[in-house]
């Protein structure tokens, strides 16, 4: 077997025996870690993980952005309806009831 395989077998052996020398087991774990980090396969797997994470993050961000955009668009439409209703002389109480907006929404957007 190659060196990595030998180190893996040795580490499993250390674990099975419950080696008491913490320094020795740490040395071999560190050695295994260094071998792993030097492996092109490890870097390929890591890169694939990063790419997958980016894609999932982008997909989730896009999904949230669309939801927020729709929500904002609905509010804009309600505000425009409220503005027209006010211009047509509807009572504020009726505007609030029909649009589902709050008095604060109307004030913040210069409708009242």
- CB-based contact 103:112 (threshold 8 Å): yes
pLDDT number for residue 35: 76
Instruction: Give the residue from 107, 108, 82, 83 showing the smallest Cα distance to 96.
Output: 82
Instruction: Give tens-digit pLDDT for 21-50.
Output: 666 667 777 877 787 777 787 778 888 888
Report CA 64 to chain centroid distance, whole Å: 10
The Cα–Cα gap between 45 and 61 comes to 24
Tell me the pTM: 0.51
Domain ranges of the chain: 2-12+19-109
- CB count within 10 Å of CB 106 equals 19
């Amino acid at each position: 077997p190659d060196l990595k395989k030998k180190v893996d077998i040795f580490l499993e052996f250390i674990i099975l025996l419950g080696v008491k020398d913490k320094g020795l087991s740490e040395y071999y774990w560190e050695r295994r870690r260094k071998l792993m980090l030097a492996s092109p396969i490890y870097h390929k797997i890591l890169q694939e993980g990063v790419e997958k994470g980016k894609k999932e993050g982008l997909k989730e961000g896009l999904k949230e952005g669309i939801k927020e955009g729709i929500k904002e668009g609905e509010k804009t439409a309600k505000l425009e309806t409220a503005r027209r209703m006010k211009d047509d002389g509807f009572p504020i109480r009726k505007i609030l009831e029909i649009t589902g907006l709050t008095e604060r929404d109307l004030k913040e957007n210069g409708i009242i």
